[in-house]
Structure 1
């Protein structure tokens, strides 16, 4: 399958109906959708294909047997009629048994292989997303898109490579088999019936296409209504505080009303479509019976022949119209596959799975940024660092201060290797981190950010996220160092207490102390503190700062801070302005320069504090 899938045609297909301003987007070839099928899937697809073709032929064969039954009633005596009918009935029984077997194989094989491949693709997609560099999420993909593709595109792809394929093969076999039997049993009547096929196919096809568009619009309206509910419930405190209940209900009703109108349109269209198709069918039946009667009188046709030809041709024609939804599913699956496979095959610029680099068993903790030029991928024209250099000796604390947007937090991002500089080097123990295995580097670094994020699990699970094999003794030791053990022990469930969504059940100070414990339990050689206390009240700041001071003693620490009172005891303070270090030294040295940037920052904060 890989060789066939590699030749992906640069076809164009359009986004779903109902999307304003939809633009064309690429799709993979039909065989390309089966790129990740293994040998078991290939075997299942082979068995499913044979079964689908056999199942499709059962409909025309049934018409053939139906004609035999009608001819059987034309026997001269009752005994002869019963004998013929019994033989025909036996054939129906045999056909029914065979159809049951092949139907089971068709549906089960294609459903199983579709589920297997979709499961594999979901896993590969998530694995690929998780190994992408941070810039990928800044520029190319948002969390909403990722979730949408995981939940939506994989369903479209599974629909296109699963049971729909077997159904399409079934319908194609019915179409071909119906026409073969029809022409074999009575080619004259078959030629006449061909004239009635285009209107039937046209009516069925147009009805299916219109229904597909209306259905997509309805799904979009329901999706928008669901988003309103999700956002409203997820931000219920904000909604209630601003009396936004009526606004939420009004917006929800607006989308639901659109969905209602689409449902009405769908019902009307479905009714007209089905009515048109059945009108064409019954007109065709009338034509066939009329002309079939003439053939019985003039050409020696039998009643069974006429019925066999009629139903074989009409069954074959209707199967062609019924294949339209399958074709629609294939197109949607091809577009979805392109979106999924593009991400799966994408090679990250910073690959955590790359094992070619050097692995660090242990580090001293010396950190240096050397002549770094850097701009964020989302803003490539805005240069953050222009020849920036910084050296942090092992076991010392370096504080980085400056006004907002000066590049303080960028230092943290570069040391963690969330991004790579456009020029210059980031060194750990004198080694460029680009030449090191990424997991070994990050395993030696602990990060505490201003707004720590928590998973909706227990306190214990959130702490051990930094070290999966941690024991309960390790957890308690880290909690004590982080000044978190006291409040955790007072909780009803202790370390098994659930933190809620995004840690909503904890206060800011409690969350920060748990985040510190999560960093401590890794026993990092390098500790990165990105505004770790700036969002806390005075008392919480004091408690958290005590915890930080306790763990910073023997580690290389880089502190990014707005509150300058928290960095007075740092071994060195670097003042950053417009991507460059303009001042550097101890607190007592920097405050002596009344015209310096550091001194001005202190005066500004003191002035703001007095006004408050």
Structure 2
């Protein structure tokens, strides 16, 4: 027998069950979640909604408080006792703090707990799926480094998404929706003016972020090239040249320029938007009789709602990374190997005599291999290196299946054994 070529050997695996398309992240969440995890995710989502309502609730109470401050100057001595009404506003802030704090606790605890439970369950299932695969799969398809990467990095990506990114996305998106609705409710005229300005600001910031990411990619590429050939760089005394290249590269220099420019641009636009809201708010107060507290609260709602929308979109790239990790892990967990070590179905021999027979077995050699071993018989396989001695043992242990022929144990094909 010749030494087996594992690439050819694994052609026999083509009869395996067709691989299913990889599942996405959302299906991954519920695929490995039990009823406790569903309850935890439900409570955590409720906590996200409560946490996202904090800005809207505070601005509703603040508008009442600011309007109350403005009306104090018009009170007569007989109406001074009515000032005690505004103590209810302070109590409202206390109640908001308690409710929002409870919601934030539910958000962090429930999502963190279910992330830990599900990631542990995923690691266990992934390890079991790895151990049930045939040896030929690791020879040609899956490298050992991929196994350690998936069981550590990929599961950590999923755990990070569950514990932090998903609740952060829900909270900020709900804060945006609730804040914009509250701003429209308090003063719809001001909200309509503020929303387009916020969209322009967010658009410019996203463009700057894309340029900054490109600049970091260029600088990272220069650094990676230098570090991968550090001996060459050091022996040739090219360290200064690499440093100058990174410093003078147009894309890399964008990092330094963008730090100052983006800071001025971002904060300048924020203050410019507040100036616009202040000016238009004064117009509404003078000509439409809108109260000052409503102007302030509506403006804060729109601005902070825009920040919430931007913060929620920052998590989308992490969702894409976690979806890839979830697809890789799901593909392995769902894969049914041709030689399934966990399959309990099949023929059972009782009692086992121990008679072995290789009947017209051909692996990769041009000749069929035949061998009969009686029970309790001791034999020795002799041959030159690479003649296939170890292949006989591998076939007997079902690390691989022969291309032709069969291996019999007490007259029964070992492929039919459970």
TM above 0.5: yes
**2:52 matches 1:51:** no
Distance 1:416 1:190 in 2: 73
- Post-superposition offset of 1:282: 1.4
1:304-453 matches, within 5 Å, as 304-360=293-349, 363-374=352-363, 383-384=364-365, 386-437=367-418
Equivalent in the alignment of 1:560: none
Judged with a 3 Å threshold, the aligned counterparts in structure 2 of structure 1 residues 295 and 157 are, in CA distance, closer, same or farther, namely same
Judged with a 3 Å threshold, the aligned counterparts in structure 2 of structure 1 residues 367 and 168 are, in CA distance, closer, same or farther, namely same
Distance 1:214 1:370 in 2: 65
Judged with a 3 Å threshold, the aligned counterparts in structure 2 of structure 1 residues 315 and 117 are, in CA distance, closer, same or farther, namely same
Equivalent in the alignment of 1:114: 115
1:207-606 matches, within 5 Å, as 273=262, 275-360=264-349, 363-374=352-363, 383-384=364-365, 386-437=367-418
Distance 1:48 1:218 in 2: 40
CA contact (8 A) 2:25 2:322 kept: no
User: Structure with the greater relative contact order (CA < 8 A, sep ≥ 6): 1 or 2?
Assistant: 2
- Post-superposition offset of 1:92: 1.1
Distance 1:310 1:83 in 2: 28
Equivalent in the alignment of 1:67: 63
Judged with a 3 Å threshold, the aligned counterparts in structure 2 of structure 1 residues 31 and 396 are, in CA distance, closer, same or farther, namely closer
- Post-superposition offset of 1:165: 1.4
> Of Structure 1 and Structure 2, which has the larger fraction of its residues in strand?
1
Distance 1:386 1:266 in 2: 67
Distance 1:322 1:302 in 2: 31
Equivalent in the alignment of 1:165: 166
Aligned partner of residue 347 in structure 1, secondary structure = coil
Select which of 15, 32, 38 maps to 1:42: 38
- Post-superposition offset of 1:29: 5.4
Q: When the two structures are superposed, what TM-score results if normalisation uses the length of structure 1?
A: 0.57
Judged with a 3 Å threshold, the aligned counterparts in structure 2 of structure 1 residues 354 and 28 are, in CA distance, closer, same or farther, namely same
Aligned length in residues: 384
1:96-137 alpha-carbon deviations (Å, 9 max, x no partner): 111110110011111111111111111100110011011110
Distance 2:108 2:281 in 1: 37
Q: When the two structures are superposed, what TM-score results if normalisation uses the length of structure 2?
A: 0.81
CA contact (8 A) 2:23 2:330 kept: no
**2:203 matches 1:202:** yes
- Post-superposition offset of 1:398: 2.8
Judged with a 3 Å threshold, the aligned counterparts in structure 2 of structure 1 residues 394 and 319 are, in CA distance, closer, same or farther, namely same
Equivalent in the alignment of 1:127: 128
CA contact (8 A) 1:72 1:81 kept: no
1:342-383 alpha-carbon deviations (Å, 9 max, x no partner): 000000111111111234455333222111122xxxxxxxx3
CA RMSD after TM alignment: 3.5
Judged with a 3 Å threshold, the aligned counterparts in structure 2 of structure 1 residues 29 and 109 are, in CA distance, closer, same or farther, namely closer
Aligned partner of residue 362 in structure 2, secondary structure = strand
- Post-superposition offset of 1:51: 1.4
CA contact (8 A) 2:25 2:327 kept: no
Query: Unaligned 5+ residue runs, structure 2?
Result: 1-19
Aligned partner of residue 296 in structure 2, secondary structure = helix
Judged with a 3 Å threshold, the aligned counterparts in structure 2 of structure 1 residues 55 and 141 are, in CA distance, closer, same or farther, namely same
- Post-superposition offset of 1:397: 3.3
